[in-house]
Amino acid sequence: MMLMSRRPRAVLAALATGATITAFLTAPPPIAVADPAAAPRPVVDETFDGTTLPAGWSAVDGTWQVQGGRLIGTSTSSGQQSRITFGSPLTDFRIESHLRFESALDAGRWVAFGLDLAPNGAVPWSIATLRNGSTATNGLEFAQRTPANTWNVTDTAAAPVQVGVGKEVAVAVEVRGTRATWYVDGRESLRTTMVDRSTTGVQGLLVNGATVSFDDLKVTPLEKESFIRKPGAPLRVWAHRGASSAAPENTAASDEVARRARAEWIENDVQPTKDGVPVILHDTTVDRTTDGTGPVRSLTAAQVAGLDAGSWFAPAYAGQRVPTLAQQLDGLRTRGGNLLLEVKGAHTRESVARIVEEIHSRGMSSRVFVQSFEPQHLRWMRELAPELPLGLLRSTLDPDPVAIAKDLELSAYNPSDAAFRTRPGIVAELHAAGVAVNVWTVDDANRWKALEKAGVDGIITNRPAELAGWNAAFAQRVKPAATILSPGPGERIDRAQVLRVAVGNNSPEPVAITLDGAAIVNGTIVDTTTLTAGKHVLTATVAGSTVQSTFDVVATPTGLANLILTSGATPSTVSTLTTLLGQKQYAVLATYARTPGARGLTPERRGQIVAEATALGAR
């Protein structure tokens, strides 16, 4: 809550209108890049300063209008999903806005970002939903409206703050293929791996049983993904051979269990058959995991396809097959999920090229990460598919992991847990080079805790459901390194208020604080009459983690009264200005303040009084 004091002058209370101070919450800071000038620019950037819908925006249902510098969407019933579409097809993007429920039929009514909608608003949709009652267990959702016009809610969570009618909040969703992350108040609040995507879907807004207003809406393409874990973010879950502790490894069944466990990535092994078809199998022979015998590379694809790959694990899985890479990619594309593909054993350039062909022909480049123990395989991959992220597997550490990571242009260096224990300091070294660290194969919660503390980015595990649950519990225990107590995010502050900067520090490291980019000391009292009207940003950085609070200096009768009373003007000028203020003659007040008759005003204070009176008169 903001720490503030109101000047004890009776005239301020007499002139105040009791205007409600609303609040909004700031979006996550932009993703840090080495060269900010090279960062992607928004492809949609609307402040709704006009009087009509922006060009290219299409209202499909409900009432949508631009008024008072905001876009206002209305749905009059719980059965009406008011929709407006805009933007263009994007694979990886961030959509963000400040929004406010102006009214709602009940706490269950909602507003949503459209993550993938047909331009005409027809089903199916993929959306990210925020309820008026945001702290309910389903206050946040990722959901799909199916081709049959029914709901499929894939993920739910409570938002970290209560929204409610009249409270402005800054929200954002980052989408990468079928993965998405909800942010509320700059805090990661919900993840999904189940966004249903199309090749022609655009972005949109939806409102249900409510009137919601929007400002500062942006859609920004995301740059190439970094697999380094952000401060406070959970460990990345890589499902080893699918959910191989619960279903037969490297089969459609284990993939489905991993998918339902919300593993971000499903790890599978790929090898060629005798006739060159890439199939999903770990061992050099089919003996252990099928009812067949012999080296996989001595069998044709047709022979492998006839093998039972499930009965060895449990009778319930009888009939599971060894998938081809093509089948695996098709399943991921249609049912959701992303593939960590290990190029297993010895391969030729031609066999690697066949793997790349399968990935490219299915449009799955954005959803495949390739790893291998063999540097040459990764060199061929870089040559044939430079867009694919690469990881180097290691049973023992290289003498210089950073050097080989740079040589191979790796996104990740993936050592065994035993190898990692010998030199945990490689995390800092590799992170400094922009390379993530994922450790395999770890199924024990005590080691997850130790590895998280060591700073690793992800765990390759046979127990993805358990790790996902551990992540959820861990996230509830983690406190941000710094917390901005004042000014509270979204505060609207007038000129009669005195603001005290207050930042809580949960780290032993010192906190660096800036107000609008200028350094400021924790606890400083800021006189709001010295601030410009409009938005201001307080930033706190500690232990590599940054949080922000955005607040507005706004015009109110009380604030204008304080500007007049503390202006140093002559008594007659103050008397005239306060009389006009009490009569709400804002236009006349502004005109008088501009004249030479308003004696004793400094040019700066004269300009502030004119601007505040003009703003009040425009309401």
> What are the residue boundaries of the structural domains of the chain, listed by start?
40-221, 236-477, 567-617
Instruction: Give the integer Cα–Cα distance in Å for 452 and 413.
Output: 16
Residue 37 has pLDDT above 50, yes or no: no
Give me the pLDDT at residue 6, please: 32
Other C-beta atoms closer than 10 Å to the C-beta of 364 total 20
Quick one: how far is CA 297 from the chain centroid? Answer: 43
Highest mean pLDDT: which range of 14-18, 107-111, 480-484, 505-509: 107-111
pLDDT tens digits along 203-258: 999 999 999 999 999 999 998 899 999 877 889 999 999 999 999 999 999 999 99
Residue 1 has pLDDT above 50, yes or no: no
Which are the contacts of 503, defined by CB distance < 8 A and separation ≥ 6?
482, 483, 484, 485, 511, 513, 522, 540
Amino acid identity of residue 12, one-letter, is L
Quick one: how far is CA 335 from the chain centroid? Answer: 22
CB 441 within 8 A of CB 417: yes
Tokens 């604030």 correspond to 559
Sign of CA dihedral 12, 15, 20, 23: negative
Which residues share a beta bridge with 497?
A: 6
Catalogue the active-site residues.
Answer: 240, 282
Other C-beta atoms closer than 10 Å to the C-beta of 469 total 14
Span between the terminal Cα atoms of the chain, in Å: 28
Domain 236-477: CATH superfamily is Phosphatidylinositol (PI) phosphodiesterase (3.20.20.190)
Looking only at Cα atoms, what is the longest distance across the chain? Answer: 103
pTM for this predicted structure: 0.69
Q: What is the mean pLDDT of the chain?
A: 90
Amino acid identity of residue 122, one-letter, is A
Helices in 455-521 by DSSP H: which ranges? 464-477
Task: List the one residue out of 208, 214, 206 whose CA is nearest residue 171.
Answer: 214
Question: What number of H helices and E strands is found in the chain?
Answer: 15, 34
Q: What is the mean pLDDT of residues 266-281?
A: 98
Least confident span in 31-45, 286-300, 510-524, 560-574? 31-45
Which tokens go with 317? 């899985």
Instruction: Give the integer Cα–Cα distance in Å for 411 and 191.
Output: 22
pLDDT tens digits along 45-79: 999 998 999 999 999 999 999 999 999 999 999 99
What are the φ/ψ torsions at residue 199 (nearest 5 degrees)? -90, -15
CA distances for 247 relative to 132, 193, 304, 305, 567, angstroms = 40, 20, 19, 19, 75
List, in sequence order, every beta strand (DSSP E) within 277-367.
Answer: 278-280, 339-343
pLDDT tens digits along 167-206: 889 999 999 988 999 999 878 899 998 899 998 999 999 9
Give me the pLDDT at residue 456, please: 97
Residue 262 has pLDDT above 90, yes or no: no
Residue 29 has pLDDT above 80, yes or no: no
Task: List the one residue out of 480, 485, 481 whose CA is nearest residue 538.
Answer: 485
Other C-beta atoms closer than 10 Å to the C-beta of 489 total 23
- SS3 of 604, please? helix
Instruction: Give the integer Cα–Cα distance in Å for 461 and 263.
Output: 10
Task: List the one residue out of 307, 322, 371, 365 whose CA is nearest residue 344.
Answer: 371
Which residues share a beta bridge with 207?
A: 82, 111
Other C-beta atoms closer than 10 Å to the C-beta of 73 total 25
What are the φ/ψ torsions at residue 128 (nearest 5 degrees)? -120, 120
Residues in the chain: 619
Architecture in CATH of 40-221? Sandwich (2.60)
Give me the pLDDT at residue 16, please: 41
Q: What is the mean pLDDT of residues 441-449?
A: 96
List, in sequence order, every beta strand (DSSP E) within 177-311.
Answer: 179-184, 187-192, 202-208, 210-221, 236-240, 265-272, 278-280
Residue 305 has pLDDT above 90, yes or no: yes
Task: List the one residue out of 412, 386, 405 whose CA is nearest residue 227.
Answer: 412
Give me the pLDDT at residue 35, please: 41
Inter-axis angle of helices 557-565 and 571-582, nearest 10: 170
Task: List the one residue out of 199, 226, 277, 214 whose CA is nearest residue 71.
Answer: 214
